[in-house]
Amino acid sequence: MTQDVHIQITDRDGILHDVQAPTDMALNLMEVVRLFELAPEGTIGVCGGMAMCASCQCYVQSSHELNEKLSEEDAMLSEAFNVKPTSRLSCQIQISLNLEGLKVELAPED
Amino acid sequence: MITTDILIIGAGPTGLFTVFEAGLLKLKCHLIDALPHPGGQCSEIYPKKPIYDIPAYPEILAGDLTDKLLEQSKQFEPGFTLGERAETIEKLADGSFIVTTNKGTQHKAPIVAIAGGLGSFEPRKPSIKHLRSFEDKGVAYIIKDPEVYRGQKVVIAGGGDSALDWAIFLSEVASEVTLIHRRNEFRGALDSVEKVQELKDRGLIKLITPAEVTAVFGDSKLEAIEVTKSGESPLRIETDNFIPLFGLSPKLGPIADWGLEIEKNAIKVNNALDYQTNIPGVFAIGDVNTYPGKLKLILCGFHEATLMCQAAYKIINPGKRYVLKYTTVSGIDGFDGTRKEAPKVIVKSID
């Protein structure tokens, strides 16, 4: 049996959710947010997860070692609003065992 | 007043395929879309990206899918109201509807099919103080008619394809074009980036990077903007126009106020039958609807469009019987007088 990882996600209303994300479904963090309905449909993952919109932007609050930003993500973030040094597009973060305890906050909707 | 049989709101893949299915039933369609071109998300967000789950296409680019759908429905001569957003709906005593756009264009039809996807694409507006008070007074977020910038000074902000492409285009129209972006790198197609580089070298585009527009000034209309390069003091640039191009984000918009049952930003429909909403005569198909088991897939939108057209036929032709015809057997008679049909089999005896 594969393991789940605990992820703490603060939604756009400031409410903290502790969710268990499965690691065997090839999910990314944006899909986890949708799976647990932590943001209304249509306000997150608008492009489907291609790093072509910034609707899934989040701020990483823990010190986990994440996969490097690809140029597409980096460029998209350069056009997004409310960007901080900790900003990532959650669709580009793949859920894996090393993300146990990850803490993120969803960026505001534009 | 534009009149039609089925008024389709949204010219994405589902809306475009509706034209074809309606055409087979001799029903005419007209489409309204807030974007200036058909295709919806496929054209606006990911035209160059491949889709792998369109039946019979192992791989097709989203932009090509739009072109194919337009070609498939061409003989049914759909009408288009593009660059306008459906704003209000009114039900008349005879059961038909009048849908009016934000530009005041009126459409009358007995059937309304909302194929609105995630909603109408609205420009993302940067939070610069007083920016909104200069809208249509020098500030615009979408370029509809580039001619209005002839001989004027234009400042464009953004780093994607539309910022690059418009900077290139306007360099031949405007008296002065300045492009401002937060990074030195641009996200657009490589040839657009190279073209901007060339125009910059020739002094036809002024490039300011990495920088951000931080203020706008003017009296009754825009007169100047303030641009701040990171770590430097702000600079004032005189300009007639400021066009921030930071992409579009979909909003369900005015449709949310049409009295339709909405759940999770989508319109609830009857999926046991025909994808009709709680308002008889108004249907919702494709990504914009929801029902138990809903999947937001283009191929599901095609199916929903097909069943919806059957229901539309029954409403428009009450009491009339319908027999399913296969296109292979019956061919297709276009509203433009064209006919497509399978070649006749030649029966020949063998001596």
| CA–CA separation, B67 and B318 (whole Å) | 34
- Residues B24, B45 contacting (CB under 8 angstroms): no
Comparing alpha-carbon positions, the chain B residue that sits nearest to A47 is B45
pLDDT tens across B10-53, in order?
Answer: 999 999 999 999 999 999 999 999 998 999 989 888 888 899 99
Cα torsion A57, A63, A68, A74 to 10°: value is 30
Cβ A43–B265 below 8 Å, yes or no?
yes
| CA–CA separation, A53 and B251 (whole Å) | 14
Selected from 3.50.50.60, 3.30.460.20, 3.30.365.10, 3.40.50.300, the CATH number assigned to the domain covering B2-121+249-340 reads: 3.50.50.60
- Residues B87, B101 contacting (CB under 8 angstroms): yes
Q: Which of B118, B185, B264 sits opposite A75 (nearest CB)?
A: B185
| CA–CA separation, A80 and B160 (whole Å) | 11
**What contacts B219, CB < 8 A, 6 or more positions away?**
none
Q: What fold does the segment set A4-106 form as a domain?
A: Ubiquitin-like (UB roll) (3.10.20)
Both tokens assigned to B307: 């069943």
Report CA Rg, chain A: 13
Q: For a pLDDT cut of 70, what percent of chain B falls above it? A: 100
| CA–CA separation, B306 and B322 (whole Å) | 14
- Residues B187, B193 contacting (CB under 8 angstroms): no
Interface test with B, best of A78, A81, A89 (most B CBs within 10 A): A78
- Residues B16, B117 contacting (CB under 8 angstroms): no
How many helices (H) and strands (E) would you count in chain B?
A: 7, 25
Q: Which residue matches tokens 């509203």? A: B335
pLDDT at A59: 98
Q: Is B326 exposed, middle or buried (0-12, 13-18, 19+ CB in 10 A)?
A: exposed
| CA–CA separation, B316 and B143 (whole Å) | 39
Cβ B126–A81 below 8 Å, yes or no?
yes
What's the distance, Cα to Cα, between the start and end of chain B in Å? 65
pLDDT tens across B204-229, in order?
Answer: 999 999 999 999 999 999 999 999 99
| CA–CA separation, B219 and B224 (whole Å) | 10
pLDDT tens across B308-327, in order?
Answer: 999 999 999 999 988 888 99
Q: What is the 3-state secondary structure (H, E, C) of B3-39?
A: ECCEEEECCCHHHHHHHHHHHHCCCCEEEEECCCCCC
Both tokens assigned to A108: 């505001």
| CA–CA separation, B40 and B12 (whole Å) | 4
β-pair partners for A102? A7
- Residues B275, B304 contacting (CB under 8 angstroms): yes
pLDDT > 90? residue B2: yes
Cβ B264–A40 below 8 Å, yes or no?
yes
Domains B2-121+249-340 and B125-246 share a fold: yes
Query: What residues of chain A have any CB closer than 8 angstroms to a CB in chain B?
Result: 40-43, 46-47, 50, 52-53, 55, 71-72, 74-76, 78-79, 81, 110
Q: What is residue B310's three-state secondary structure?
A: helix
Indicate the CATH number for domain B125-246.
3.50.50.60
pLDDT at B160: 87
Mean pLDDT by 10 residues, chain A (110 residues): 89 96 94 95 88 93 93 88 95 95 93
pTM of the model: 0.84
| CA–CA separation, B8 and B113 (whole Å) | 5
- Give the residue among B227, B245, B251, B228 at the shortest CA–CA distance from B187: B245
User: What is the ipTM metric for this complex?
Assistant: 0.81
- Residues B165, B193 contacting (CB under 8 angstroms): no
Give residue limits of the domains in chain B.
2-121+249-340, 125-246
- Residues B239, B178 contacting (CB under 8 angstroms): yes
- Give the residue among B191, B192, B150, B143 at the shortest CA–CA distance from B171: B150
Cβ B119–A42 below 8 Å, yes or no?
yes
